[in-house]
A and B are shown apart, each in its own frame.
Chain A
Amino acid sequence: MPKQSIQMYLTNKFFWSYLTVFLILLFTIGIGVSAGSVPIPLSHVFQIIFSEIFHTKLPDGIDIATVNIVMQIRFPRVLLAAMVGCSLALAGTAFQGLLKNPLADPYTLGVSSGSALGAVCVLFFSFQLPFLGDFTLPVVSVIGGFIALLGVLALAQIVQREMSIETIILAGILASSFLGSLISLLIAMTGEELRQIIGWLLGSVSMRGWPYVQLVTPFLVIGFIILIMSSRELNAMSFSREDARTTGVNVKGHTSWILLAASILTGSSVAVSGTIGFVGLVIPHIARRFWGTDHRHLLPLSMVLGGIFLVLIDVIARTIISPTELPIGVLTAIIGSPVFAIIFISYRKKRVGS
């Protein structure tokens, strides 16, 4: 049966892809923990993490200070970077698929700015919503991002019903600068901790620790589940919404779910690490190049790829001009902006050509 062998081949292809990216992720996390002002051998890193997880005895030769550096400072930081990378890449993949827009990403759509405004509000007015406790920050951040997203899409639709790629991005830029100025206004009014908050806005995963990892995990899990459950619909909607509807997709329902999931992912990662741009733009393109556009595989694979990417970027950010640390968002923007330009140019060329 040739058909079965084709299916076998496909399953195999994806099986090896998953295995490869997961191994690379593990390895990258190891590198991330090992690199720093005090280098720790890779073998020690894995031994320490293994023993902490399975409560086994530590081998000799690893002192408690190293264990503390790994477990209290570096490992949570690297894990956070990985999770933020995963979230942003997932959100970017979802936005690009849903809006059929190769330039869409939480940052270019203004969702990050909305989330940032929400987060800044929480930080400066230091309030907590009932029942949410520490989760007030990410939840308000998610709400801020979702409102900004709806605003951007509504604006784009008023401007142009078909919502061309450029229109959406322009609306996103407009929202970003508006929300950005509101944030600046808030900061100017308080006047304190200026440098710290600006550093946070530029995007950073340093000095966050385990609480932040705990904060972002449920959002990543929920966002991922919602998106995976809508992956076939994302495939169908990649052509046109009308086309998806006539193939039986409940377009309105799934659009809302996908937008919500992407906002959850963006909002929570902004809440823990500030605005890190372009991860959600670059990663889905790389992932599509490797594995095609079937969102059932594209979503998980680009998620892992996003994790790998951000861990590596974080390593570079804190080692390149050591001992000073670069804000991670600065580095992603340095890499992401030219990529944005390249995608834009190649997209325009393709469209003119066809």
Chain B
Amino acid sequence: MIQVDQVSGGYYGKTILKEISLSVEKGQFTGIIGPNGSGKTTLMKMLSGALKPLKGTVLIKNRDIRSYSSRELARSVAVLPQHGNHSFEFTVREVVSLGRYPYFKGWLKQSDKHDAELIERAMELTHVQQFASHRIQDLSGGERQRVFLAKALAQEPEILLLDEPTNHLDLSNQMKLMDLLKMWNRSRELTVVAILHDLNIASLYCDNIYMLNNGELQSKGIPNDVMDQVTLQNVYEANLLRQEHSKVPRPLISINPREVKKVNSLEDLKISQQEDRLVVSSRYPLKTLSSTHGFEWTDTFIIEREPAQSYTRLDHTLRFQVMNNLNQAAVIHSTESFGKVSVVASVDPFTNRPITIGVFLQATLTDASFIQVMLTVNESIHTLIPIKSDFDSNTFIAVTQTGEKILSATRSTKIAKTLLKRVTEAIDLAKQKIADTRSDEPRDYRVYLERR
């Protein structure tokens, strides 16, 4: 549908694009991404015929774009421009009917019934027919963008070019617009080429992505290949993280803001321990993997006896329910080679009640090392608790994500061994405290701890 071959060019004799080649098949949804000044808009202008390449050729439907008249080209290619300055008060229907211009006949550019039907149809498809006689100035940004989309559709194009279509739209309108485009792209084999600023929208909606950098093609291909964390970091010169979408098999890109001061540490972890409640609170949220809620940023951890009534879940708070006396829970702190470690253990080995183990780490963990730590902690539970037949356990790993980066925490690593030791100690201590209470010998467990 579109063939761009070794195209170079720019404005006022300045070369912005350098030998770009690209090819778009019929019915594809193609995204063009790249930082500001990378040549995206220049490339788009060459695809729409607004700018003539200094070198190379642009073929639309296997024909050189320069051989098209503007009317001919408008019947094949429609453009949704960036928001312009609308100083005049056209009604929605008037704007949409401009889309039929390339089909009007005669000196006075007469329109016929067919045109009128297509105009109504385009307005229906974009859900703007209820505003048909409103002035576009009175519409919101999202509605206005849909009106211009209807105008582009009234052109009955085979190719739709979009320059940052979601610019200035709120999240819901961005999604609606992209969903609408995707639907047409699929149902009518409309070929779509869009400049997209939002990497996640590009990743989620495009079949193919071209990434430009400094006027050159950095990479191309399906989103999974193009959205490479290292490439993105280099091209955008920003600390970007690639993750996976939880519902769609597409990558997600998140940004990592630069922090003024890394204050996140376990120094100010506050622990209050009472009979019915143990609360651990951190001044800053900790990245937490819990067996109950998966990954979350959490700053308050509550282990409590059955709460009387159901509670609403608060942000940044994890709650675990136990039956035993929480004065018998063990809390130990230590400093290891990689950073500080605190372990909280509440054990009830005699009643088959849930046990809760929490590990606090001052380190930076990858998702993989989180899971490895989780496995290690679980192993310590299974080897050390005298289990009857079955029991439930709640485990959580809370990490500052500052300090030393731990890429691997498999069973053979030093960190796994250290953690295994600490968790075992905590469980031992908890069991000891229970045993002490049972022998009716009130004993301060801190003394016990110091003795060790």
Measured CB to CB, the residues of A under 8 A from B are: 3, 7, 97, 100-102, 228-229, 232, 235-236, 238-240, 242-243, 245-251, 288, 292-294, 347, 351
Q: In the bound complex, do residue A229 and residue B108 qualify as a contact, i.e. CB atoms below 8 Å apart?
A: yes
Q: In the bound complex, do residue B107 and residue A229 qualify as a contact, i.e. CB atoms below 8 Å apart?
A: yes
Q: In the bound complex, do residue B70 and residue A251 qualify as a contact, i.e. CB atoms below 8 Å apart?
A: yes
> Does chain A have a CB within 8 A of B94?
yes
Q: In the bound complex, do residue B50 and residue A292 qualify as a contact, i.e. CB atoms below 8 Å apart?
A: no
Besides A102-B87, A228-B108, A240-B85, 12 more A-B contacts (Cβ < 8 Å) are: A235-B98, A239-B95, A243-B81, A245-B49, A245-B50, A246-B49, A247-B74, A247-B78, A247-B98, A247-B102, A248-B70, A347-B87
Which residues 214-271 of B sit at the A interface, judged by CB distance below 8 A?
A: none
Q: CA of A268 to CA of B136 in the docked complex: distance in angstroms?
A: 36
> Does chain A have a CB within 8 A of B296?
no
User: A288 with B81: in contact, given A232-B101, A235-B94, A248-B102 (CB under 8 Å)?
Assistant: no
User: A246 with B78: in contact, given A229-B107, A235-B90, A292-B89 (CB under 8 Å)?
Assistant: yes
User: A236 with B79: in contact, given A229-B108, A248-B71, A292-B94 (CB under 8 Å)?
Assistant: no
Q: Which residue of A lies closest to B85 (CB)?
A: A100
Q: In the bound complex, do residue A292 and residue B87 qualify as a contact, i.e. CB atoms below 8 Å apart?
A: no
Scoring A102, A245, A351 by chain B CB atoms within 10 A of each residue's CB, the highest score goes to A245
Among B49, B74, B81, B135, the residue within 8 A (CB) of A240 is: B81
Q: CA of A247 to CA of B77 in the docked complex: distance in angstroms?
A: 9
Number of interface residues of B (CB under 8 A): 38
Q: Which residue of B lies closest to A243 (CB)?
A: B81
Which residues 105-120 of B sit at the A interface, judged by CB distance below 8 A?
A: 107-109, 116-117, 120
Q: Which residue of A lies closest to B107 (CB)?
A: A229
Which residues 36-93 of B sit at the A interface, judged by CB distance below 8 A?
A: 48-50, 69-75, 77-79, 81, 84-91
Measured CB to CB, the residues of B under 8 A from A are: 48-50, 69-75, 77-79, 81, 84-91, 94-95, 98-99, 101-102, 104, 107-109, 116-117, 120, 135, 151, 155
Q: In the bound complex, do residue A238 and residue B81 qualify as a contact, i.e. CB atoms below 8 Å apart?
A: no
Residues of A within 8 A of B116 (CB): 3, 7
Residues of A within 8 A of B79 (CB): 242-243, 246
Report the minimum CB–CB distance from A246 to chain B (whole Å): 4
Among B72, B94, B135, B155, the residue within 8 A (CB) of A247 is: B155
Residues of B within 8 A of A351 (CB): 85
User: A232 with B109: in contact, given A100-B88, A292-B94 (CB under 8 Å)?
Assistant: yes
Q: In the bound complex, do residue B70 and residue A249 qualify as a contact, i.e. CB atoms below 8 Å apart?
A: yes
Residues of B within 8 A of A294 (CB): 90, 94
Report the minimum CB–CB distance from A159 to chain B (whole Å): 16
Residues of B within 8 A of A3 (CB): 116-117, 120
Among A236, A243, A249, A250, the residue within 8 A (CB) of B84 is: A243
Q: CA of A288 to CA of B84 in the docked complex: distance in angstroms?
A: 20
8 tightest CB-CB pairs across the interface, nearest first?
A: A248-B74, A248-B102, A246-B79, A248-B71, A293-B88, A232-B109, A238-B88, A240-B84
Q: CA of A247 to CA of B75 in the docked complex: distance in angstroms?
A: 8
Q: Which residue of A lies closest to B133 (CB)?
A: A6
Q: CA of A102 to CA of B91 in the docked complex: distance in angstroms?
A: 18
Q: Which residue of A lies closest to B116 (CB)?
A: A3
Q: CA of A7 to CA of B78 in the docked complex: distance in angstroms?
A: 27
Among A97, A288, A347, the residue within 8 A (CB) of B89 is: A288
Residues of B within 8 A of A242 (CB): 50, 79, 81
Report the minimum CB–CB distance from A240 to chain B (whole Å): 5
Q: CA of A288 to CA of B94 in the docked complex: distance in angstroms?
A: 14
Residues of A within 8 A of B94 (CB): 235, 292-294
Q: In the bound complex, do residue A100 and residue B101 qualify as a contact, i.e. CB atoms below 8 Å apart?
A: no
Q: In the bound complex, do residue A250 and residue B98 qualify as a contact, i.e. CB atoms below 8 Å apart?
A: no
| 30 interchain pairs, CB-CB under 8 A | A100-B87, A100-B88, A102-B87, A228-B108, A229-B108, A232-B104, A232-B109, A238-B88, A239-B81, A239-B84, A239-B86, A240-B81, A240-B84, A246-B48, A246-B49, A246-B50, A246-B73, A246-B77, A246-B78, A247-B74, A247-B98, A247-B99, A247-B102, A248-B72, A248-B101, A288-B88, A288-B89, A293-B88, A294-B94, A347-B87
